[in-house]
Amino acid sequence: MVNVLFVCLGNICRSPMAEAVFRNMLNDAGLNDKIKVDSAGTGHWHVGKPPHEGTRQVLNDKGISHEGIKARQVVNTDVVNFDYIIAMDAENLGNLRRIAGYKQTGYIGRLLDYVTDSKIEDVPDPYYTGNFDEVYDLISSGCRGLLETIRREKHL
């Protein structure tokens, strides 16, 4: 089983959107029995809450389920239990690397590293910008690239 964790700051906008989009891609590819996906935030403010209404609206508009997704905070064991830990931006990437320290971990990187033609490196936080549609497009592109990479690296 390949384990993927998407991470943003509060786990209510970007990372739950990525979790839902990636889960949908796994369903379409028939890989949900081979790849497990989750999301978390580096902050604790929204623990237990559902995704932001803007995230839910975009996912609903695209016909993508967000059922069962609740915000949680990254815990120390996440960095050793997940094979791919995917941050939405440089700030959260740095936080994840601090949490990992010298522990043996899977890959820790940014989602947009998987988009070859992206002119930006960080998925902007729609909590502040309100641009959930732009974030959906970026996340979808990143998730497609990540899935291609996992399939190639893990021979799926």
* Residues spanned by the domain of 27: 2-154
Please report, to the nearest 10 degrees, the dihedral formed by the alpha carbons of residues 126, 132, 138, 139 taken in order.
90
pLDDT of residue 104: 75
Annotated catalytic residues are 8, 14, 125
User: What CATH number does residue 15 fall under?
Assistant: 3.40.50.2300
**What is the pTM (predicted TM-score) of this model?**
0.97
Q: Please determine, for residue 140, whether its predicted confidence score (pLDDT) is greater than 90.
A: yes
pLDDT in tens, 76-118: 999 999 999 999 999 999 999 999 988 877 899 999 999 998 8
Pairing of β 35-41 and β 84-87: unpaired
- Check residues 26 and 102 and name the one with the higher pLDDT: 26
**Residue 16 · residue 39 · CB < 8 Å:** yes
Give me the number of domains the chain comprises: 1
Residues above pLDDT 70, as percent of the chain: 100
